[in-house]
Chain A
Amino acid sequence: MSKIHVTTTVNGDPVEFLCEASESLLDVLRDRLSLTGSKEGCGTGDCGACSVTVGGRLVCSCLVLGAEVEGRSVETIEGMAEGETLHPLQRMFIKHAALQCGICTPGILVAAKSLLERNPDPTEEEVRYWLAGNLCRCTGYDKIIRAVLAAAAEMREAS
């Protein structure tokens, strides 16, 4: 079967790739573009480890086809820091030790960033519900929530 040619933007860089019609965006990112920061925790849209944004919208990349991102703009965890300057969320995750094994962390950061873009001043409850699509087995979420709230506060002050 012939492959599909896709032209898109990933983390601001123009990218072209060939993929199967059935191939998920997650597999394209990991296997074709070597962007292994996005993780597969379930492959069924239930864990959020694969979270990326497509056209600014938070999606589970395991449920999006690679072919669907033609002409769109994809943002992954690899694009979150600017060079070596960490995003405030990343800094706050370090400060609060909001991660342990780190496997859920890329997805949680991408999801949290998407939340703060929509709602710069979320309540604890809003953060908990927004992140309810992201499973973390290590942290019990406590420090993740605190880190997101702290990053939100810092970003509000800076803006």
Chain B
Amino acid sequence: MPKDHGIGASQKRREDVRFLTGRGRYTDDINLPGQAHACFVRSQVAHGRLNGVDTAAAAAMPGVIRVFTGADFEGVGGLPCGWQVTDRHGQPMQEPGHPVLAQGKVRHVGDPIAVVVAETFEQARDAAEMVDVDITELDPVIDMKAALADGAPKVHDDLSSNLCYDWGFVEDNRAAVDEAIRNAHHVTTLELVNNRLVPNAMEPRVAVGDYNFATDDSTLYTTSQNPHVIRLLMGAFVLGIPEHKLRVVAPDVGGGFGSKIFHYAEEAFCTFAAKQLRRPVKWTCQRSESFITDAHGRDHVTKIELALDKEGHFQAIRTETYANMGAYLSTFAPSVPTWLHGTLMAGNYKTPLIYVNVKAVFTNTVPVDAYRGAGRPEATFQLERVIDKAAREMGIDPVEIRRRNFITEFPYATPVAVEYDTGDYHATLDKLLEIADVAGFDKRRAESAKRGKLRGLGLNCYIEACGIAPSQLVGQLGARAGLYESATVRVNATGGLVVMTGSHSHGQGHETSFAQVVADMIGIDENMVEIVHGDTANTPMGMGTYGSRSLAVGGSAMVRATEKIIAKAKKIAAHLMEASPDDIELKDGRFSVAGTDKSVAWGDVTLAAYVPHNYPLEEIEPGLEETAFYDPSNFTYPAGAYACEVEVDPDTGKVTICSFAAADDFGNIVNPMIVDGQVHGGLGQGIGQALLEGAAYDESGQLLTGSYMDYAMPRAGDLPSFTIDHSCQTPCTHNPLGVKGCGEAGAIGSPPAVVNAVVDALQRAGHSNVTHIDMPLTPSRVWAAMQG
């Protein structure tokens, strides 16, 4: 029986009514009295020396309040990078400055040079056209390998080269891995590209800065996944505003997918300019602008080698990856190709020896940072692709070769520094074979063939590390932040609760699922619980939402805070019933004394807490409000198996997804309906990556895919209905909810399934030379592959 309330129930999302009726309040819906509008003047060249910016003509345009340039920001800090990676030789990465507005040089198309603030956006935009920028164009570096060649132009003159770091993981394993590959029975090698993506949350970024001179308080309204992080980074590192004088509000946010984690120049600008001008300053990103300013994702070029013994057991893996950082280090960029990627190279398999090498490279392109999955899709893609290739080369069934190598005993310490707490990879694979009706594939393939179509089946497994992250561990790995989460549970006198969380919801439905958890613990109706998030003024310091961490880490903080509430409430109840706190039981919102018929209601206790006439004041304080910070002891490890069936049109190379099935193990599940949606969304983005999306630069550094006319987003007609299942559940062993996180799985697990399916279709049709096609699998690429 499906549950109808509490943990495990598919509660309807309470946030939906406001969104469905046009009553959401997103940042762009906020307009403050006296607000001025900002328009950025951006570099139109990829690389150039900035000789001067003449703002006189612009300043004289109607409605212009002020024109800002880099000179205004000379005394201001640069945008900080939140993660320092140490290279193979024990040296810190090369870390360039990242000015709010360009200083001396421009380094990518879109790099901000000046900002016009005017009475209206149209006036600001017209005046921005009049800003005269004097730039001497320099040769850009766009291709990563060219950027590392001797004598290549340098993106940052003060660095020794365009190499940010050369990372080896685990460096001590290198010789043993080389040796194992040299001596292996069989080595499968695959070179591939993990295509560069533009996140494209449907809500463009917006920032509104406000300043109150009477109190010296600054407020920033921004489209962020983590308002506290922005407050800390912008306040402490850029503008020098202490946290108690800076409030950051991220109201309803229209999707993030990673791109709204980072601290961007426009946020600092609007906060700064509001103080300078004593007026609110608003900036709304145009879509064409978001393509050249939002941090992009992926962009890895990889060679992977898999060594196998004659039974197909994996012996060793060696990878070499070039990872594009773009022109500057975005907030968490260095961590993505390293700690979020190298640590997942074991996948679901018992490979004893692994060595991962990553060279992070500066180029004259938009910065690259975390995008849904962040490093883990890149790891999964190469591993699951090379396994498929190896299976084919060795004549082993792709399901069988995976089974032969599955990790089956837990906890399991991989050779790449993580310890999987729990999992059952055979179970998700079995479930997948069932829901995807793999047994019926041959019949469907014959039907496709009758219609002249080439059908293929691709499947793969995946594992990810979520619930980011144990603070001390990530501190050792170079994180400049802790990655705990927080919650304050405030119980009101009449029994209702407000839960203030440091997590942020921008589509994940926290207002519903978080309330289910707290209500379930106390045994009250969900409607008695309100979830507050997104405003640093009324939530405890939290690290926000990304890395599928909100329920695993933020939810755990909420559980801990609620446990404290319950413990205190039991003491109050014990006093009211003249019993010992140890004998008090809480069930369905009533406290009772074990073994008696004495009981008091939840509301009686909460009222006593705030009207403490009959109350143990000598033992406990009045009131009922508790805060907890939860720092996880490990990552969580969601895992699963995905299958995709495609039809390829042999005449055009067009790929149609016929079906897609996903069997995931997310541990315990609070709201299955919300989890379904998270998986669907991830699948949409993963299939988009595999078939449609790809950011392309020309050699001069112009983004060729800078609009929806050129960058192919998945549309309703491009995607199938999904078949998904998350009934295989091995609860996480180290957080109180036993949950693992589900937000990124779909994006991580689906690209290899699609590519495996297309290669399978072509192989079965006799194109035995086609062992790989780089994403996106556009008709022209697939057609070219078929031509040999």
**A residues near B, CB below 8 A?**
20, 22, 30-31, 35-44, 46-47, 49, 76-78, 80-81, 86, 90, 93-95, 97, 99-106, 109, 124, 127-129, 131-146
Contacts and interface: CB of A to CB of B under 8 A. Distances in A.
Nearest to B15: A102
Nearest to B21: A81
Interface in B273-300: 284, 286-288
A102 B709 CA distance: 23
B23 interface: yes
B677 interface: yes
A138 B19 CA distance: 14
Contact of A90 (B20, B28, B676): B20
Contacts of A146: 721
A47 B681 contact: no
Interface string B666-687: 0000000110110011111100
A62 B16 CA distance: 25
B708 A106 contact: no
Contacts of A47: 202, 287, 708
Contact of A142 (B22, B680, B685, B709): B680
Given A36-B22, A102-B252, A102-B254, A97 B12 contact: yes
Nearest to A107: B202
A103 B26 contact: yes
Contact of B203 (A31, A94, A103, A109): A103
A124 to B, nearest CB: 7
Given A36-B29, A100-B507, A101-B202, A93 B20 contact: yes
B126 to A, nearest CB: 11
A44 B708 contact: yes
Contact of A39 (B203, B673, B746): B203
Contacts of B719: 140-142
Interface of B: 12-13, 15-24, 26, 28-29, 31, 122, 200-204, 252-255, 257, 284, 286-288, 506-509, 673-674, 676-677, 680-685, 707-709, 713-717, 719, 721-722, 746
B676 A97 contact: yes
A44 B287 contact: yes
Contacts of A124: 721
B647 to A, nearest CB: 15
B716 A99 contact: no
A41 B680 contact: no
A20 to B, nearest CB: 8
A91 B685 CA distance: 26
25 contacts: A22-B122, A36-B22, A37-B23, A39-B254, A40-B284, A41-B204, A43-B287, A44-B707, A44-B708, A46-B709, A80-B22, A81-B21, A100-B255, A101-B254, A102-B20, A103-B201, A103-B202, A105-B20, A124-B721, A135-B202, A135-B708, A138-B507, A140-B746, A141-B680, A142-B680
A128 B717 contact: yes
Nearest to A133: B715
A37 B202 CA distance: 14
B56 to A, nearest CB: 24
Contacts of A36: 22, 26, 28-29
A46 B708 contact: yes
A155 B82 CA distance: 53
A100 B717 contact: no
A9 B393 CA distance: 68
Contact of B716 (A43, A77, A141): A141
Contacts of B204: 40-41
A145 B16 contact: no
Contact of A101 (B17, B253, B714): B253
Nearest to B677: A97
Given A139-B677, A142-B722, A35 B203 contact: no
B202 A140 contact: no
A54 to B, nearest CB: 17
A99 B605 CA distance: 38
A43 B289 CA distance: 12
Nearest to B673: A97
A144 B681 CA distance: 11
A137 B202 contact: yes
A103 B716 contact: no
Contacts of A97: 12-13, 16, 509, 673-674, 676-677
B29 to A, nearest CB: 4
A104 B715 CA distance: 12
Given A80-B21, A140-B722, 19 more contacts: A31-B31, A36-B29, A41-B203, A46-B708, A46-B709, A81-B21, A90-B21, A95-B12, A100-B508, A100-B509, A101-B255, A102-B24, A104-B202, A135-B708, A137-B200, A137-B681, A138-B677, A138-B681, A140-B684
A136 B667 CA distance: 28
Contact of A94 (B12, B287, B680): B12
- The list of the 10 closest CB pairs from A to B, nearest first, reads A37-B22, A102-B19, A103-B254, A140-B684, A101-B507, A100-B507, A46-B708, A140-B680, A77-B22, A36-B29
